[in-house]
Amino acid sequence: MFRNLRLAFGKIRQNTTKPFHLCGQRYLQSLREPSQPLKRCPKWVCVEDAVKIINSEHLVFIQGGAATPMELVRAMTEHGVCNNLRGVRLMHMSLEGDTPFANPEFEKHFRSISLYVGTNLREAVNEGRADCIPVFLHEVPRLFYEKRIVPDIALIHVSMPDARGFCSLGVSADCTRAAICTAKVLIAQVNEHMPRSFGDTVIHSSHFDWAVRYDCPLPCVICPPPNELEAEIGKIIAQRLIEDGATLQLGIGNIPDAVLCALVNHKDLGIHSEILCDAMVDLVEHGNITNKCKTKHRGRMVGSFGIGTKRLYDFLHNNPFVEMLAINYVNDPRVISMQPKMTAINSCIEMDLTGQVCSDSLGCKMYSGFGGQLDFLRGAAISQDGRGKAIIAFPSVTSKGESKIQPVLKLGAGVVVTRAHAHYIVTEHGVADLFGKTLRQRANALIQIAHPDHRECLEKAAFDRLKSNPTKYL
């Protein structure tokens, strides 16, 4: 079977002018189009039989986000432990749900390798029982296409087949397409609750080697309503930095939700964002998001994965207003830069007085990953219409009352956004525009939006570090 697939793939490569990343072992056409069915059917089995193919030393890709195939993950873990498998490596984006394979007692059986560290694996990564790969999201598919990562098995989560046998990857396109193009074996969890989305998500059921029917609701991620401080940050960004007709990218969390809540009076907004969330649905239904001003994918929202509640998943189902596309396209800074008034809004853990931004670690302890933050900040900064805005927003203090603007980053803190990449910085106390500013000008601008209780200490630290009063050179 695999030999025939390789032969078919070789013929396509000889006769196509499309770039390599649009082809793969399992796909006989550009994956922006419906994939060509194979002349075979998947083996429909129970979940315990499906995972029996996993063996020691195998590299297993697991689809992530709200599309995490949790039943396959559960069965895989039990299979690995009961059969005393050793050294099974698990490659994945951030996963939802339980991650039993990461328990200390299973360390000899499994080793998780995150492309973006989620909450459920932080402890394992920081204790050395799991690992992670620092990588820009838009470059993750390259790891598969260039065969730096070649999964023996891919565990994916799809919708029910339609009348022609086509399924959908649903809420998670991201790097899944690249993984299934290069994986040797596909095992699919088929779920009637998985939405059928449009874009880079179509796959024919004949490409599955094994298929498991398991119906369950997708995991819900509910962000609490923004507090007063977060709401104030949202208002500042909405009123001072976002124009009508802007194309938006927002991360996940309270501050992005606060920004979206503050946009009810804006017109003709567009979405080009790796993450789609519930708060965007409100603006679509209210008429604020129309995508009519976008130059690419006009009239459609573009995302790479969606995570939220059933309301979001219902919105994505069979909705041609939304395109779920691969992360190497959605997060490509060159593509991002083509959108009108591209406005990227992200957050961080801390930053120093010169503009260095830490977003992936708490000192030496890993917290998340590079993600798409720099992809979008750079894309917005180099926008072709010259009206893009790269924004980092955060409360001026932590939940413990410490200043998020520090004289220097904590020991071991990872710099995700460099001084040169940092443009607009927003707290509840205002906006600092760092682009083109000297070190002293930056320090002064950041001190002005720091919490008043910390400004005096920051001024002293700035004097010690810069050997001059930062206000002197304004």
Which DSSP category does 368 fall into?
A: S
Q: With 0-12 CB in 10 A as exposed, 13-18 as middle and 19+ as buried, what is 20?
A: exposed
Cα-based distances in Å from 159 to 28, 211, 220, 394? 21, 11, 17, 37
* Contact (CB, 8 A) for 35 and 203: yes
Establish whether 274 is a catalytic residue.
yes
Q: Supply 224's token pair.
A: 């609490």
- What is the residue type of 18? K
Alpha helices (H) in 241-299, listed in sequence order: 254-261, 278-286
Could you say which of 274, 323, 428, 459 is catalytic? Answer: 274
Nearest to 307 by CA among 4, 67, 51, 25: 67
* Contact (CB, 8 A) for 55 and 220: no
What 3 state SS string does 384-406 have?
A: CCCCCEEEEECCCECCCCCECEE
How far apart, in Å, do the first and last CA atoms of the chain sit? 69
Catalytic residue numbers read 274
